[in-house]
Structure 1
Amino acid sequence: MQFLRRSLIGLFLTSLTLALLVMAGYALYGAVQSRLAPAERPRMAQERVFTVNVQRVEAGVVAPVLTAFGEVRSRRTLEIRSPMSGRVVELAENFEDGARVEAGQLLVQIDTADASAAVAVAEAESTRAAAELRDAEAALLLARDDLAAAAAQARLRVTALERQQNLQGRGVGTEAAVETAELAVSSAEQAVLSRRQALAQAEARLEQAGNALELQRISLAEARRRLRDTTILADFAGVLADTTVIEGGLVSANERLAALVDPDALEVAFRLSTSQYARLLDPEGRLIPAEVTVLLDVMGTEIATPGQLVRVGATVAEGQTGRLIYARLDAPRGFRPGDFVTVRVAEPPLEDVAVLPAAAVDSAQTVLALGPEDRLEVLPVHLLRRQGNSVIVEAAAVAGREIVTERAPMLGGGIRVRPLRAGGDGGAEAAAHLPARARGEAIETVDELVALSPERRAELIALVEGNARMPQEARARIIAQLEQDHVPAGVIARLEARAGG
């Protein structure tokens, strides 16, 4: 038993000794390998190079386009109202909303019975007044003749009195005869005065008869006008709107029956800010007759018509700002009053300016220009106009320079970039030189598309097909991208980075 215990202890000690020897040998082997291994080189920092689109700035003359929104209105609208009350006995066949009528066409006929009776009564009264006038004229003639006869008789009486007075002076006549002659003269003069009064009355009667006839003629004209008012005609060719009357219905005086709109006489009213309005004034302060284009969006399709500025609102309404401008439509086909439209106004041309993408200018009104060694420079610009996705700036500071068309947060002054120019040449050149690890540069892209030469495209496709570790779906997707006319620069950069690694 003691022999077995000692044997097991010896076996344990032997195994422990062998394990310690193995660990010592492994530690010695690791130390030798560390000693023989070359010294690790420190990793060098890599400069990041971004691929950007650039555009050369060219100075020129640009006519800015001002965009506003307005409402189409009619320059010629007529409210059709009933001049008198009565029953509607006839309507035009096309008396309905949207119907087109011609000038002079019958629209509404009101019952003419009362108006015709009034005309007949006025005509009878006019005839009676005319007869009264003729009687007054005849009476005036008689009164004048009667006055002339009385005056002649008075002259004879005066002559007889003078003869009696002469006889009395010679002692032949008597005093009684003289008195009788004097009484006869007084009676004759009284008769003349009475005839003058009758003449005055005849003249007054004639004037009254003339006035009465004139009043009756006015009454007759009024009655005939009211008779004509029972027939409502279209004053001009146009389109009916808001029709409210039906045949057989009763209408009151001045009741609104419909509206007549001339579809060929339209204008658009739109509001501009005061600064925008100031750009459309001539040196005398008057609104220039600038050309406009009016656009109406109809289910994705635009209807356009030219026009011209004609006037500006006289006052500014309460609670409003800016100026209300009116433009006449030259060919308003397809437009209707009430349409909400887009108005584009051609401003006077600006000289020595350049048009840049809006994304190229930041909030501080600066752009990034390509400098020496393809490094970016920050240049200030004077912003003149904003037009959709473009801006108009003064070209003095950036004329002839290449600027970045799309600003990105990682871009700034001093950053090195790879420019992509329009036309595809710059893109192919940049794609051919994308791998830059040999120069210690790291390539990053900003979602740019580049054009590849056929040789470069075939090389990249062969590189993808030879990568056995790439999944089949990913390989097919990348090959489909490489076969396009323009390939994302990020895809090319990743392929080149893997090949170079």
Structure 2
Amino acid sequence: MFVSIGALLVLMEDTADVTKTDTSPVLQTVSVQALPVKEVTAVVDAFAEVRPRWSAEIRTPVGGRIVEVREAALAGAMVPTGAVLFQIEKVQYETAVAAAELMLAEARLGLRQANNQTTVARRQFERDGVRAPNDLALHLPQLEIAKRQVASAEAQLHAAKQQLADTIIVAPFSGFVTERFGSLGQTVAAGEPLVNLMDDTRFELTAEVSRENWTLLDHPIHGQVARLVDMAGNPVGIATVRRGGGFLDRNTRQYRVFLEVPDTAERSILSGDVVRVQFTGRTLKNTFSLPETALTRTGHVWFVDQEDKLRRLEPKILFRRDDQIVIAAPTKGQSQRLAITPLASFLPGQRVAPKSVEE
């Protein structure tokens, strides 16, 4: 019985059917794009915030009661240079000017008296035919003191007039009033803030550039012009490099480049905008420009060699420009075929069927 069961199981065992054929396996189709070796001009991008050149908290130089607040001092107002913002009560400062003028008149009178005494003493000695024994005999020390009293009185009068003029608070530069602190009837002390004023004509930017991108710039960069592009990719103006390099930012360890935006009608930026600053760098030879989609998540690109085999490469990315990546050519002066749609199933050395596509 056991022998019969064993024979039955052997007869029922599955067998693999192997069929020989001379047909070659179907190769995977891969879209490739010819990459010629190019000479390109590097473009370095950096983000920066647009800031006004002048932004100040206007404080009162003198103390007193605010007797007038102009419309130009209200928040949101746009004021030109020299526009009156506040008026401080000026009675006490007019009194100080009058007292200083009186002191100056008295000092000048004392100077005339000292001059007269010196002249009389000198003529007396000349008439007697003798020489004055010392300066005291000619009243010269008194004359010198009188001269200094006049100088002191003139300086005090100038200071009093300056304080009187400072009772009128004016805008030191044109701009927007962003915040107001002083109110009508308020008594303020010297040095108290009245308004915040932000420049609206001259802007500055500070861009940070990595060490790698710093080497791509055309040095020296002083005076170079950079393009300003908004977050949507639209050009909004230009900026001129005032200075850059020389030190690294202590937090980011990147080079800082300081730029200024000229006051032109072609610009369309506002203070507080975040823009992309595009620097034009030096010319690079032996490079490939490939679409950003050709770069895999692992940072590799795939080429198809002359034998239609896949070859993987970890490229040296020089810079990015829009949706293109510029890399250093792995072989000097030799074009390559790029697999523009890399797949996860790609294997190095795998033979494929390349299909050329237009750029």
TM-score interval, smaller chain: 0.7 to 0.9
Task: Indicate if the aligned counterparts of 1:49 and 1:418 stay in contact, CA closer than 8 A.
Answer: no
Q: Does 1:309 align with 2:241?
A: yes
SS in 1 for 2:139: helix
**Matching residue within 59, 68, 73 for 2:37:** 59
Query: What corresponds to 2:257 in structure 1?
Result: 325
SS of structure 2 residue aligned to 1:103: coil
**Match for 1:415 among 316, 332, 351?**
351
Q: Does the residue aligned with 1:259 lie in a helix, a strand or coil?
A: strand
Go from structure 1 to structure 2 and tell me whether the alpha carbon gap of 1:199 and 1:364 turns closer, same or farther (over 3 Å shift).
closer
> After superposition, where does 1:479-490 map in structure 2 within 5 Å?
none
Name the residue aligned to 2:137: 200
Equivalence for 1:344: 278
Residues 1:406 and 2:337 are matched in the alignment: no
- Contact kept, 8 Å, 2:42 with 2:217, in 1: the verdict is no
Equivalent residue number for residue 166 of structure 1:
none
Aligned pair 1:94/2:85, yes or no? no
**Offset at 1:382?**
5.2
TM-fit CA distance, 1:334: 4.2
Structure 2 unaligned regions, length at least 5? 1-16
User: Using the alignment, how far apart are the partners of 1:288 and 1:381 within structure 2?
Assistant: 35
**Who is 2:318 aligned against?**
385
Partner residue in 2 for 1:294:
228
The secondary structure found in structure 2 opposite 1:264 is: coil
Separation in structure 2 between the aligned mates of residue 271 and residue 198 of structure 1, nearest angstrom: 70
Hey, what's the Cα distance between the residues in 1 that align with 2:247 and 2:65?
Answer: 44
Relative distance call for 1:384 and 1:418 in structure 2 (3 A) is closer
Matched, 1:271 2:196: no
- Deviation digits for residues 44-100 of structure 1, max 9, x if unmatched? 587243333221112222223222222222223344221111112222312133322
- Structure 2 Cα separation of the partners of residues 315 and 250 of structure 1: 47
Structure 2 CA distance for partners of 1:290 and 1:146, relative to 1, 3 Å: closer
Q: Is the 8 A contact 1:370 1:403 kept in 2?
A: no
CA distance in 2, matches of 1:219, 1:73: 40
| Partner amino acid, structure 1, of 2:251 | G
Post-superposition offset of 1:197: 6.5
Contact between 2:44 and 2:216, CA under 8 Å: does it hold in 1? no
> Are 2:66 and 1:120 aligned?
no
1:109 corresponds to 2:44: no
Residue from 38, 47, 52 that aligns with 1:69: 47
- Pair member with larger Rg: 1
Verify: 1:358 aligned to 2:295, yes or no.
no
Q: Could you say which residue in structure 2 is the equivalent of 1:227?
A: 164
In structure 1, the partner of 2:109 is 131
CA RMSD in angstroms comes to 3.1
Partner amino acid, structure 1, of 2:196: A
Q: Answer yes or no: is the 8 Å Cα contact 2:303–2:311 preserved in 1.
A: yes
Residues 99-136 of structure 1, C-alpha deviation per residue, up to 9 Å, x if partnerless?
22122221222111111100000001111111111112
Higher relative contact order (CA 8 A, sep 6+): 2
TM-score (norm 2): 0.81
Per-residue CA deviations over 1:28-56 (Å, capped at 9, x if unaligned) read xxxxxxxxxxxx88275872433332211
Distance 1:409 1:90, change over 3 A: same
Equivalent residue runs for 1:229-248 within 5 Å = 229-248=166-185
More helix by share: 1
1:253 and 2:190 are equivalent in the alignment: yes
Q: Contact (CA 8 Å) 1:101, 1:234: kept in 2 or not? A: yes
Q: Which moved more, 1:94-103 or 1:396-405?
A: 396-405
Query: C-alpha separation between the residues in 1 aligned to 2:135 and 2:40?
Result: 93
8 Å contact 1:280–1:288 — kept in the other structure? no
Contact kept? 1:74, 1:337, Cα under 8 Å: yes
Secondary structure class of the residue paired with 1:89? strand
Map residues 203-214 of structure 1 onto 2, 5 A cutoff.
Answer: 203-214=140-151
